[in-house]
Amino acid sequence: MDIIEDNKTAVFEEGKEDALHTSNGHVKLHNARLKSIQDDHLYHIALSTGSDDLRRLFGDVKVVCFGGQATRMEKFAWFIAREFDVSDTVHNFAAGTDRYAVYKAGPVLSVSHGIGIPSLSIVFQEIVKLIYYAGCENVTFFRIGTCGGIGLEPGTYILGRAVERPAKVDSDLIRQLHACSQNEDKFKTVLGTTLCADDFYEGQGRMDGAFCEHEEEEKLLWLREIADRGVTNMEMESLGFTALCDRANIPGAVCCVTLVDRCEGDGITNNLQLLQEWQTYPQILVARYIRNRLDL
Ligand SMILES: O=P(O)(O)O[C@H]1O[C@H](CO)[C@@H](O)[C@H]1O
Ligand SMILES: O=c1cc[nH]c(=O)[nH]1
């Protein structure tokens, strides 16, 4: 069955589980119960199907970019607005909650997710529902973030039972993104495996947290071990992000800039200007992808 319900704000579709999107590119509905909710309040992003015309506001969205900080995602929205001349202003639709930020610049949503998978997964779910309700077509998700250069078990607990969800990346998408790098770039772009930790300090082998029970040699040994297994960087959301993209049948990829070479140290520079500049690197790459994909 295709369109089940189509009112001011809601388009619900069901599709074959093996297809990425339904035949017309709408994101698939994975929870049929949503159909019976009269007014679905997307609590953490301050939008609702009852009072907001989500189709009018968000129906043209093609790419959703997530990243940790609200200000970074605001800057990214401005960057997209100016680069593609798609909007005179950017507005934080989620300002009412102060939990996350959701900016829109033309066909691009720029969303902050906070730190860690629990925080990411809440806004991710509400954004997936938003794009269902808005009837968006052929949407792609990116996480554009920061990481340390060089685990969570896959899965989560639902009703007290461990549920495994594979964290599959869309290999075509990452290849396309990688192809957006240019020889003259100030930064090097590499394809690699990302280690996703549930902590910034001990969880990433750092020795500069409030606690540390390992020695430098053990840390370096571990870094070498994971590097030998193809790990090039570590951050704190990629596992949840890719698993949720896979679960939602939305093509997704993670693109992060390294802030420190962990073989050299643990601390991150306090040069804010440099940090701001570095954070634009994945944004530049994703903007090139958006330009190619949407012919802007
Ligand atoms: O740069 P963002 O996107 O915030 O992500 C990275 O930075 C945070 C830690 O400082 C973690 O969330 C990590 O994944
Ligand atoms: O080392 C780093 C840098 C940014 N984010 C992380 O999670 N780790």
Q: Residue 89 sits in a domain of what CATH number? A: 3.40.50.1580
Q: Which domain does 162 fall in, by range?
A: 3-294
Find out whether the beta carbon of 67 lies less than 6 Å from any atom of ligand 1: yes
Nearest-CA neighbor of 126 among 94, 96, 162, 167? Answer: 94
pLDDT in tens, 260-274: 999 999 999 999 999
pLDDT band at 1 (very low <50, low <70, confident <90, very high): very low
The answer to whether the CB of 270 falls within 8 A of the CB of 158 is: no
Q: Is the pLDDT of residue 154 over 60?
A: no
Report how far residue 103's alpha carbon sits from residue 279's, in angstroms, rounded to the nearest whole number.
17
pLDDT band at 2 (very low <50, low <70, confident <90, very high): very low
Q: Is the pLDDT of residue 40 over 60?
A: yes
pLDDT band at 22 (very low <50, low <70, confident <90, very high): low
Supply the pLDDT for residue 23: 57
Percent of the chain predicted with pLDDT > 70: 89
HEC readout, 133-148: HHCCECCEEEEEEEEE
Which phi and psi angles does 9 have, rounded to 5°?
Answer: -125, -5
Nearest CA to ligand 2 atom 1: 148
Average pLDDT across the chain, whole number: 88
How many domains is the chain built from? Answer: 1
Place of tokens 């007290």: 160
Q: How far is the CA of 111 from the centre of ligand 1 (A)?
A: 13
Find out whether the beta carbon of 259 lies less than 6 Å from any atom of ligand 2: yes
Q: Is the pLDDT of residue 19 over 60?
A: no
Q: Which atom number of ligand 2 is nearest to the Cα of residue 236?
A: 7
Pocket probe mutation, ligand 1, options 100, 119, 236, 238, max atoms within 8 Å of Cβ: 236
pTM score, two decimals? 0.87
Supply the pLDDT for residue 153: 41
Supply the pLDDT for residue 209: 86
Supply the pLDDT for residue 190: 93
Find out whether the beta carbon of 145 lies less than 6 Å from any atom of ligand 1: yes
Q: How far is the CA of 263 from the centre of ligand 1 (A)?
A: 19
Nearest CA to ligand 1 atom 10: 200
Supply the pLDDT for residue 15: 41
Q: Is the pLDDT of residue 3 over 50?
A: no
Find out whether the beta carbon of 15 lies less than 6 Å from any atom of ligand 1: no
Q: Tell me the ligand closest to 258's alpha carbon.
A: 2
The answer to whether the CB of 81 falls within 8 A of the CB of 88 is: yes
Structure tokens of 183?
């020889």
Average pLDDT, integer, range 201-229: 93
